Structures are given as structure tokens and as C-alpha cells.
Structure 1
Amino acid sequence: MRPFVLESDAVRLSVPERGDIDAIVESCQDPELQRFTTVPTPYDRSDAEFFLARIVDHGWSTGREYTWGLRAPGSSELVGMVSLRFGDHDIGFWTSPAARGRGLMSAAVRLVADWAFEQGDVAQIYWEGYLDNDGSAAVARSTGFTYTGVGEGLHPGRDGARPLCRKGLLRATDDRTVKPGWPLPAASAEYPRPADVDLRGPAANDSVTGPERP
């Protein structure tokens, strides 16, 4: 598949390129991103170059996984990543620390889901995140995913084991309203503003989900 851009009034999604390497490397120093994804640690330029060549480019050329860089409207700065993996139809994402809490990733997930259901021949999309990754769960919840419980993750962690994860499902026939049943963080009666960091976020694993690296 030839890479394409997805755009709305809220966000612009375009394929990450070599000019984004510095932004990717900087984002992947974030302790939260390292905690909730399988990005290599330490993370340097060679990891970003591997990610672009072996995950992003290969994913698009084979149709296995489509990865987009997240940018705010009118800006060329990459502030996150979102990918849709076609084997399991699961979505992964992360947002840089400075861009969190602005609703950018929620808008990006809606945009990807709209494309997948309307043009990508996808009937449902899966989400999963580590049990304590409340930010990622907040994004899934806010974009209309139904909470389906806890189970073994689709993808192994850094130690090779499949961690327990919270899981969600969004069907093409679902509306995008917030669904009941999502567990709230123990310390709060409400979900936190999304930290926008997912288990398999594109610079995360595939292993951004299996062993892919950004």
C-alpha cells in the first residue's frame, strides 16, 4: 500500500520520515512511554532508524501494519504515533509528554477507526494496555471502545512473556459514545486526562505492538 495522509480539523496523520528521527528519539526517552511500551531501553537514533525502515516502511509495503505520525494542525512537528495492525486488527499509539492531555490521540484514533471501517475493510478493532496504563485506557474509553475485561496480551513484553492486559473492542457498527463498564483508577473517581501511551504504540512494539521498535 502506498502511504496516505489522514486529516481532520483536530489532527494530521502522515507517515513518519527521517526528518522525524530526533522527535522520535526524544519522545522515547520518556519514562512513561518506556514503562508502558516495549521500545528498546536505552533508545537512540539507530533504534529510530530501524523502526522507520523495518516497521514503518515494511508495514506499509506489505500491508501488514499502517503507521502514522501524529501532528497538530498547521504543524510539522511529530508529537506521537498511531498504528493499525491488520493481522489482529489491533491499534497501538503513543503521544509525546508535551502533547498529552490535549485530546490529540483520541482524535487520531477516531480518524484511523473511521478510515478502517469505511475504506479498510475492517469490521472491528482491538485495543489492549497494561493493567496500570490508565492513560491509554482513557483514550480507548473516550473513543467508544467497549471494555471486554482482562486477559493475556496479544504481544510479548521485553521479557518474552505475554503480560496481563485490559482489553477493549470497537466494532464498525458501534456508535462512538463512552460505554459503561470501564474500571476507574483506584485513586480517582474519574479517569485522568489521557497520557496517550499504549502497550504497543508504534515506536513501541509490534513488538508497538511482537517485536517492532520505533
Structure 2
Amino acid sequence: MGIRDLSTPRLTLREPVDRDAGSIAAAWQDPAIQRWLGVPVPSDDLSAQRYIDSIVSPGWANQSVFTWSVIDRGELVGLVWVDAILEGVGRIGFWTSPEHRGRGIITEAAACVIDACFSPDSPLHRIEWRAFAGNVASAQVAQRLGFQFEGTLRSGAVGRQGREDEWLASLLASDTRSPGAWPETVLPS
């Protein structure tokens, strides 16, 4: 797919490169990122460089994982990726560094990625969002993007704390992307 370089009016999305390793490693120090994502703990520039070399670059090469650095005013502020790509379905994930949260950056970046993944030259027709149950911040982004909540997969994922329930939502290329109602057990009013 020709979606390696994307942009919005305020953001640039591009493949992570070697110079991004330090910023990625710094963000991985955040306890929330460590809790909700499978990042290396402890992590350092070398572990971030290994991620770029072993996941990002091969993923683009074999079209199995697409990862973008989210750049705002010249600074890497987060990552968005679509992985588990198989038979027209992919799974979106994202994080924002703590000091850049609450500004709509990741919602804007993820919407741009979704537009690209649902473009006519893309083979994707469904994108799934999954998160450990309790990751309300991620659920709020998914809801704003128009994902429809499908349920909780009991003991559906393995995290640092062992088996955990996992929330699942999806977005189809044909969906309107209007935020829908999600259960109060996921997103309390």
C-alpha cells in the first residue's frame, strides 16, 4: 500500500527511523504505556532500535505491520500502527507520550491512518481495536474514531499481570465513523 508518508494539517506521519529510537525509548518509560502495551521493561535506546529493526522495517517490507511516527512541530509525540493484517482485516494500536496527551493528537493521527487504510488501493475492509479491559483512555479514542464496541473477550489477552480480559471494537470501511454508544462498564458517563 502506498501509505508510508501521511499528513494532517498539523501532523506528519512517517515510518519510524533510527533517529526516533531515543524518543520512543523515553516514552516507553511512562507507567501507563508500560501497563497497557507490550513494550520492553526496562527499555532503553537499544531496545527501541531493536523494535525499529525487527518489527517496523520488516513489517513495511512484508506488508504485515504498518507503523508511523507521529510528528508534531518536529517532535515525535506518539506512534500509530496497524498490525495483524490478514485477509482484509488489521488491528490498530497507538500511544502518545504523556506530555502530549489531551490535545487530540492521537485521534487525529489514527483517523488519518484509517483513511489511508480504507483507501481504494488498500486491501483492508475491517480494522479492529483491542485493549486490555480498563484502558479507558484508549477506548475513548476508539469511540471518537467511530469504532463500534463488540464486547469483552474474557481472559482474551496476556499482559504483564497474566491473563486479562480484552475489549474489542471494530470499524468497517463502510461505517459512518460517527461515535456510537459504548457500554457504561467501558466508558462511564
- Structure 2 equivalent of residue 194 of structure 1: none
- Structure 2 equivalent of residue 106 of structure 1: 107
CA contact 2:35–2:160 (8 Å) conserved in 1:
no
Alpha-carbon separation, structure 1, partners of 2:19 and 2:155: 33
The aligned amino acid for 1:81 is L
Residues 140-159 of structure 1 correspond to what in structure 2 (within 5 A)?
140-152=142-154, 156-158=158-160
The aligned amino acid for 2:39 is V
Are 1:78 and 2:79 an aligned pair?
no
Residues 31-180 of structure 1 correspond to what in structure 2 (within 5 A)?
31-72=31-72, 75-85=73-83, 86-87=85-86, 89-118=90-119, 119-152=121-154, 156-158=158-160, 163-180=164-181
Alpha-carbon separation, structure 2, partners of 1:153 and 1:6: 36
RMSD: 2.0
Greater relative CO, 1 or 2 (CA 8 Å, sep 6+): 1
Moved more, 138-147 or 1-10: 1-10
Unaligned runs of 5+ in 2: none
Greater share of strand: 2
The aligned amino acid for 2:148 is T
Alignment TM-score, normalising by the size of structure 2: 0.90
CA contact 1:2–1:61 (8 Å) conserved in 2:
no
- Alpha-carbon offset, residue 77 of structure 1: 1.0
- Alpha-carbon offset, residue 17 of structure 1: 1.0
CA distance 1:174–1:108, shift in 2 (3 Å): same
- Per the alignment, in what secondary structure is the counterpart of residue 26 of structure 1? helix
CA contact 1:141–1:182 (8 Å) conserved in 2:
no
Among all aligned residue pairs of Structure 1 and Structure 2, give the percentage whose two residues are the same amino acid: 32
- Alpha-carbon offset, residue 10 of structure 1: 3.6
- Structure 1 equivalent of residue 12 of structure 2: 12
Q: State the Cα deviation string for residues 95-115 of structure 1 (Å, max 9, x = none).
A: 100111110111111111111
Unaligned runs of 5+ in 1: 190-214
- Alpha-carbon offset, residue 4 of structure 1: 2.0
Alpha-carbon separation, structure 2, partners of 1:134 and 1:97: 15
